[in-house]
Structures are given as C-alpha cells and as structure tokens.
Structure 1
Amino acid sequence: MLKLRTGLFGKLSLSQKLFLYLFLLIIVPLVSAAIIINSKASTVITNKTYENVFQTLKQTRFNLENILKEVNYLSVSIFSDDNVQELIKFHSEKSYLDMDRTKVKLQKAWGGTSFNSILGSKPYINSISISQDNEIIYQIGDLVQEDERQYTPIVTELKGKVFWTSLHQLDYLLPNSKNVVSLLRAVNNLDTTKQIAIERISLDEAVLSSFYAGINSWLKGEIYIIDAQGRVVSSQDKALLGKELGSESYIQKVLADEQEGSFSTRIDEASYSIFYCNLMEPGWRLVQIVPEGELNKQLKVINEFIIICIAICLLFGIYFSYAQNKSIVKPLKLLAKEMGKVKNGVFDVHLKVHSQDEIGRVSLIFINMIRQTKELIDKVYKSQLKEKEAELKALQAQINPHFLYNTLDSIRWLAVKNKDFAVSEQLEVLSDLFRHVLNNGEEVTTIGEEIEHLRNYMFIQNNRFGDKISFVQQIDPQLFTQKTIKLILQPLIENAIFHGLEPKIGKGTITLTIERKENKLIYVIADDGVGMDASQMTRILSHQMEQEHAFALKNIHDRIQLRFGGDYGLTIESEFNIGTAVHIIMPIMSDEGE
C-alpha cells in the first residue's frame, strides 16, 4: 500500500515549487555571496574605523599626558627653585623688602626663563600661585583673591605628592571667572623637608579641551574627560562640565577598567560605541561616545548594492515563474481540477489531452485509472458496504441495553408483587448495573459511581459464591467525586473472580486501592488467587491470548491509551499460586472530563 507522506514542501503548488527552486538555487547563492562579501567588508571597515578612532583617542591621550607631565615637572621646578625657597623664607620672617627683591628676581629670570615667558609658551596654564598659611605670597597669570583653602588639609596630608582638583572656578580679582582644574602640592624646605607653603598651578579647561576638539567630528558624538568619581572635568559641550555621570552604567564600566578599550551600549534608546583610555597620572579617563550609525556610514554603499542585486534576482525569478506557469503549470492545474472532482465523488471525468509529453501521458493514465476505480467501487465496495451495514443493524437489534433495563425493572416489580424479595433485590441490583452501563450515553463518570457499580456487582457475586470471596477497598473518600472513565474497574474485578479466585481452593480476597500521586490516579486491583505463570503473562502482555479475560484487559488498556496517550494504561504483575495485581495509571480529569 502506497503511503503519501507530505511535509510543508509537499503541500506547495508546482508554480510555488519552481519559484522555490529558483530562489534556493540562484537567488539564495547570490544573496549569500553578497552577504558574505558584506560581512567581510563590514568586518574590515568596522575594525579599521574602530582602530582609527581608538588610535586617534590614544594619540590625544598621549598629548594630554604630556601636558600633565609638563605641569608636574613645572611644579617640581618651581618649589625647588632657590628664589622661591628664599621668597617663602622671607615671608615667614616678615622680611618684606627682601620679598620684593626676590619677586623681581623671579619675574626677570627663573631657570633662565621668565615666568611670563613660561605662561606665554604654555597657554593652557591659567595661573600659578604660592601660598603660606592660606595667604597668597606670589602669583602670576590670572590673579585670584583667595587660594583653594578647602584642599589645604588634603595637600598637607600628602606631604609633597601631587593632588589634582576637580573642575571648579577660582575667586578671581577680574570679573570674568574661568573653569579650571588645579595641581596642588606641598612645598617643603629643601634642607629640613618641613612643609613651608602650598603651590598651585591651574589649567584653563577651555584651552585644555581645544587639544582634543578636532577628533570629535562625528555627528551627535561627544568627547570629554572624567575624574575617578565620574565627574566631567573637561568637555566640548560646556553644559556637561562638572556633571556627575558616575551613576550611568556605561561610565561605571569605564571606571571599572583601569586600562583602555571600547564597547557598545544603548543610551536613551540609541546605540553608541564607547571608546576610552586612562590618563594614568591624575587617574582621569578620556571618553569618546560615537553613534554606531555614524561608524557604519561607509557600509551604506555596499548595502545599497546588495539590495539592488537582490531586487534584480527577484524580478528575474518572477518572470521565470510566469514563463513556467504558462507552459507547464497551467496544464497541470487542469489535470488537478479534474482530480478534485474525483475527490468529491464525481467520477465522470472529461479531460482533453492535446499533447504526447509527460503531462499528456499522465492525463491518459489518470483517465484509465478513474475508469477502473469506478468499476471497482460499483462492483465490490458498494456491495461490501451494504453487507456490513446489514450486519451492524442485526447486531444492534440483538442487544438493546434500554430494553434490557426496562425489562428487568418490570420483572423486579413482579417479584415484589409476589413477595419474592430475594429475587427482587437481585433484579434491582442488576438494573442498577445496567443503568451505570448506560450512564445517559456518557463515557465519563465519577469514582464514587464506579465504586457503587462494584458494590452492586459484588452483591450479585456474593449471592452466588457466598463467603468464598471477600472484597476490600482502600480509597480516600475525597476521591469519590473525581472524574474517571466508566466500566474500568468492574471487568477487572470480574477477571479476578473467575480466573483468579474461582479456581482456587478455599476463600480468597480482592483488594481495590485508589490513590492520587501528583497529577495521576493509581488504581490497583489485587487478588490472592491462582495467579499466572510466565508464559501466560507473556501472551497476555503481547495480546496473543484470545480468551475473554485477555480481551477485557486489552480493551481497557486500549481505551485508556486512546483517550489519554501512551504514558497511561494498564500493567500486570502475577505470580503462580500467589496472586495477581493489575495496575492502572490515569491522569487527573477536570470537571468537564478533560
């Protein structure tokens, strides 16, 4: 027998398949090649772009570090100068005339170069001052009213080490204040190493930012310097100056890395690339933020070329599909249309064959096949169908549960009328058995109704066997309302009686246990009858026995698996002359019987 197995591809029409072949064998390879080229080009261009941005950033860091090193070197040169040492000494001794003479020396020459010349060659230096006991004793550049007294305890504790302040404004004598960052350090007596003053060199943030202004050519890009706490020390965007950015996740990532690097992130629902490197001496970070769209502009030309190639391939595919549809698919559709008539039971097929190619030969074969099929249906199938229908109606007429139930009820009332109460009681129980079998045509009942059905059944059997058979049930009363399939337990109890206990010499016991484990119901029907040997067990489990009890077991097992699936069903444990236990596993059913 030929089995037609079709997946998603098999359900496609021929025109769809032809287009799919074209797509898979031509368009996909072209697109794949374009994507590979794009991927390689993207990698090269992206890496090159990232490398250029990063190299420029590192060169800027190098320039800024040179500035900071020069300022540091300048601070060392200042506090180690003899004239500076004398100036501080004269101020301590209140020798104001000697102080004025020393200031003249400092202005005329310091290390072969005047202070004013130093400021002229280093425009990023805003001012230099030397103070003692919070009093400025010498300063050049922009003049301030008071020096940075709030940092005095920190500078004193550092004992000559450099301290860089955050961005701030000095209290200038001039009306226009400037944003500066300052290098502070204690000035020690060169002979006694005792602190005698504090030196300050302030850098103009506006001039400092000009050293890296040229590298920020990206639209919506930003570049700035932050200190170790995430505060903006310098920026082209003056609105950011002094802003606390330490709470931003990308800034936290930058601060956590003591080296240099780059990563991608999202800021305000937009994608950015973050480049950063450390200015080691003050512990600052130079950070550049570039929109990823700006970095990938060079890829747009390649992407546009790929889109054009894909569009051309699609247009060619559509034209090819149209040509194939006209010459091949349309004749096959006519054949499929006639086949559809046959599917709907119309065997009067009129199909004109105009060619001798493969499609024409298939059409002729189809016509002959339909003719033969029609003859087969008329002669064999219809006659067999009528025969089966007659047999089914005869079988239905032989057994009518409603008729039996009503008849038994009439006989019971006749027994009551004749005062034959033993017979009446037996008939009433038997009527209840038939009523449970009918169950209003429903397949699903409750465990309580199944147990009641078993009690009625055991009442009849006890009248037959007397006290030979004992029935014990171990069931939680809360399970009585649980839904189950009807007529699951009674056939198994019947098997236990007639094939387990009846052949046994002496009395026997049947034990019914029902319990719930997680989302399953476990039924166990155990008897201490004659049991089965290994060969009988094998034949029953393989469904090779045709006896009535084996059929009942198979019927129950099949009913459970058909309704709930292969994870549920019936298993048997038996030992010869010891007894048999049948286990049933069923899922918990909802109130709707699902």
Structure 2
Amino acid sequence: MVPAVGCDAHMHEFQRDGIGRRLYGGGRPRAARDDDQRQQHGKTNQPYSLHGVTSAQSNYANIINNNAIPEKMRMKFAWGLKNRLLVALLLLSLIPIAIVVAVTNRNYGALVENQVREVSLNLLDRSSLRMTNRLEEIGRVSAYLAYQQMSDSDTILSFLGQHAENGGVAPYDRLNHTREFKKATESLLLNHDYIEGLYVFAEDGTVFANTKGSELMPDYVPLSSAWYRDTIGAQGKMIVGEVRQQDFLLSGNPSIAFSRALYEPATNRRIGVLLINCSLSLFDELSEGMLAEQRIYLLNGIGNRLYGEGELAEEWAASAVGIGSRIDSRTNSLVLHNTFSEYDWHMVIVVSLDAVTGEIRATSRFALWLGVIWAVLAVVLSLWIANAFSKPVNRMAQMMKRYPTGHLPPRQERYERRTDEIGVLYNRYFTMLQEIDTLIREKYHNQFIAMSSKMKALEAQINSHFLFNTLATMNSIAVLEEVQSLSVMSKALGDMFRYSIKINRDLVMLSEELGHVHNYMTIQSFRYGDKIRLETDIPKELEDFKVLKLILQPIVENAVYHGIEKKKGYGTVSIRAWEQEEGIRVEVRDDGVGIPADRLEEVRAMLGRTAEFEELNPATNDARSIGMYNVHARIALYYGPDYGIEVDSEEHRGTAVLLRLPRSAPEKGNSLAERAGSSDHLSKGAS
C-alpha cells in the first residue's frame, strides 16, 4: 500500500487503478472530505483546477512551497545561472581570441623575418650569379678581341707581333692597323653598353683605341702606371683595377678597368697589353629586385668597395669572407655575404631590421585592435545570449512562486510561440500543470521513466545531420567572406562524411569510391600544396562496377602519410583498374619512400593471418579500421578468402597495393551481414 501524498493523520489508506478508480482502502478520499469542508465554510468559489485537480494537488503544491528555497536564495540562484552562463561564454570567446592574437603576433614576426632572410639570400645568390656572368662575359670579350681578324688573314695578335719586331712598322701600316682595329671592335662596343673603351698597348708604344668618347691622354706612357706593371707581372691573367677616375684618360666618370698581357702563341713572347674600360653600369643588375630596406655592396679581394651606396661598417667588410649571415646588434641589421669568382670578390647585403620590425609592430597593433574589437563584440554577444537564456528561466521561476497551488498561470504566448527549447519548456510546463494529478498519484514514476527514455531517444536521433548543417554553414560563411580554401575544404569534408555515414549499403560504384578519394585529396592539397598529385586510369566500363565502400581512401591515405610525406620533392599517387579472367584488379601505386624489406615481410604476415568479423564491428574496431589490414579483412570477409590485397614495395622507389576483387558481388545469403556469424567462413585465413 502506498500512502496518498498530502494525507493527514486521520486519512485512511487507499489504492487506485490506472484511471483513478479506488481499488481498496477505508474511509473517504481526501478530495471528497475537502469538498465537504469547503461547503461547510461556504466557499463556493473554488480555485480553477485542470483535469479535476483536487485538494491533494493543493496540499502537494503547499508542501513544495513550504519547503521551497527562500526567495533570496532563489534570486541568487537565478542570478548565478545568468552569471555562470555569461562567464562560460566569455571564457569560450575571450580565451581563444587572446590565444589567436598572441600566436599571430609571435608567428607573424618570425614569419616576416624568415621571409626577409630568404628573400635576401635569393637576392645574394642571384646578384652573385649575375656578376659572375658579367665577369665571364668580359673574359670572353678579351679572348675574342685577341683573335679577332682585322684583315683577310691577320689578327690583332699578328699585328702586335709586327709592332714587337725591332724594326717596327711603317707609319702608313700603323695608321692602317689603327683603322682596322676600330673597325674590328665597333661591334663589341655596340653590343656591350657597359664597355666605355677598348685599348691595346703595343710593345713599340703604339696604342690602338676605340672608345665611346673618353680620349686617351696624349703622350701617355703606360710603363709609369701601376696597373700596367701589375698586368705584366700577372703573365696573362686578368687584372681588375679599382673603381676610380682612370689616369690615362683626359676626362670621364669613375670606371673599372680589366687588363691582361697578350702573348704570341708560337713564341710565348709578350707583344702587348689589352685593357677593357667599363662604366659602373656593369653593376646595374645587382640591385634589381632589391627591397627598400636592403642595401647591396660589392667588394674586391682586399676589401675595397666596388659598388654600393651608404655607410659600410668596417666589421662588415672584414667579415665578408665565404658564405654566411649574422645579426649586427649595434645597427640592428641582418648582414649576408658571399665570396665568388676567380677574383675573390665579396658581395654583402645589409637588411635594416628596424624597417622590418616596424612593419611587424604595425601589424601587431592592427591584430591587437582587431582582437579588442572581437573581444568587445564577444562581451556584448555573451551578455545578450546570457540574458536571452536566463530571462525566460527567471520568468518561469517567478511564475512558479506566484502560482503554487494549482491555479493556471497566465499564458506566456511570447515564450510558447518559440520553437526552441524555451518554447518547448513553456509548453511542457503548462501541459504539466494540466496533468499534475496524474503525475502525482499514479504516473509520476512511469512518467519519469518515459521522460528518461525519451531523452535517450532524442539523443539517439542526433546524427550527422547537425554535422552536415554545420559544414554547410561554414561553407556559406567561407563563400560570403571569400575564403575559397575554407569553402572548398568544408565542402569536401562534408561530402566525405556524407559518403561515409549516409550511404547505408555495402556496395557502391567504383566512380563513387573515386569521388571519395578525390574529396580526401582535395583536403590534403591544402596541407601539401602541389607536392602530391593524384592520377587515375579507370576504364569507362569499370566506373559502374560495384565495390565495397571505403576500400580505396585508406590505401591512398597510407600512400600519402607513409610514402610521399617522407619523400623530398614531389610525389604521385596513381589509381588504375583493369579486368582479368580471375576478376577485377585495382592498383594504388605511389612513388614515395617505399617500405623496408623487413617491414614489408611484417605487413605481408599481418595480411596473411585470419580475418575476424568482429574487427569490422563499429563498437569494437579501432585505428586499424583506417589501415591496410582492415581493407584486406573486409574484402576477404565479404567476397571470400580468395580475395583481398597484395603489397609490393621497393625502398626509395615506392609502394604498390593491389586489390583483388571478383567480377560480381556475392549471391544472396553470402553478403557481409549474412556471413557475419558463419564460423566456417571466418575460420579461413585472409589471403
């Protein structure tokens, strides 16, 4: 027997059936005695009751009210709910914003400095190569000039040989040689903008010259010049002078001279000296592509500057030996240097880090202000959300306090019309008031169980639809915000989930499986860029061929992560299919790092062991479900032990995975689900 809730000491025990009829128990029911008492006291205006709410309901409500939390505590609870919700929202929004701003500032600074270093290194290599090419070009000009024909049979060397003879040459021949020299060298001056003049000093004092305007000083004696003596002492090697105003010219801008002694091939007798005078436009290509905060200098073998503007610290010039870089803390500069060419020249690039850090600080300030704006918006939005959620709850709490005895409170249409959880809550609340007698007396326990079951059922209904909607929302936002990469990635990820979860069948078309692989590779392309390429070769007649779902993507994923990711440079994953007498063959091949021989034997041994059906059960599978063994086991379990995969690999050459499939799906009664409990089939090893 269950005592009635709200009974006094004189009330007898009774029991009702499912529809409220009394089954046993002495005395009158409490509701009837309460009616008698109200009639005796002349109370004809009874409170409005729903579904015949009796005094037992009122007594129950009074008990709840008398034992309820005091008003101050209830208000504290209400405010606490709002505050807790507000704090949770602020933490969920402000902490990520702070982390994003901090990480962005730190990583952006490092990224900019690395990019500046990389750009400067590229400029250093490019400028060194250009200067080396120019020097080699000057060397070719000197060689070409020495053997250039000046008449039908004579070259410059042969003319110089005549001038080196004791008797010398006649004045007419000297004039003719001078005219022939200018004619022979005219094309060299036209084709090389940086060459200001070509000079050949014969042993008898004759000077052959062809210039672009700078006249040779009259009665110039080269033996008195240091450059001439250095050139003779070099015995045929090219000598490079300093950048200066040349002492053998009447006028002109600073230039740089290249000179070498000329020797007669047959006798190895010195017969003259060649000098190529070059303007400083020789170095113009060095500064191409240079950033505003970069400066470039060219130094000769003894550290004298040949090219470059601005202050060049002595320690920079002294340390510019070989290839290297360092940070000069005194000037806050990045100094990179390189030694090149046979002349032991040094190239120095100086990057002012003050300009770089200025850009970083400006970007950091922008990120900080952006974070502050986001934080303010997050606070405002959190306040609005907290108030929107707590206000209906507070309203309901006040309503429960004001109408505790079964009276029907005023309808809250503003909240009842809502379609969210608040609307459900208010509608359920008023429904509960109308059914409170049943809930209290006969169905409270059953209703609690039913509500619990309903909640579990609702939880069970939460499926991938929410995930798909979320990805679709992300895709829409990415399109609106013009973030094409995020739009493509979210769409591909959504298609992959839809394919993995929504297709409730064992077999799919090969073209659908390839589409799933393409979605996977689309996502991977955002990580690897164009490092990985996917190639497919599927005959048209095999595109509609039915295969097990999710057998290609795990193999392709293995090829990406274990093959090509560890490889330096680009890689290719190829998928091809063909038909044989034994069945259909699908091959996934990569040109990655391959599998070592001992590891390959382990993989083959793993594929050779018995496949268990439980390994495919979603409740029991683990990381192997994305692996090679899972694909092999599912094929063997579905089609039989004669089918599965084979692995062949060569270290440093790549890996090939061959999927052996039958021409047609198994007959009815041999499907995966129907063979799940077949111990005869499971006892066979997967091939």
Q: Which has the bigger relative contact order, CA under 8 A and spacing at least 6?
A: 2
Report the TM-score when normalising by structure 2.
0.37
Q: If each structure's strand is expressed as a fraction of its own residues, which one has the higher value?
A: 1
Report the TM-score when normalising by structure 1.
0.42
Greater C-alpha radius of gyration? 1
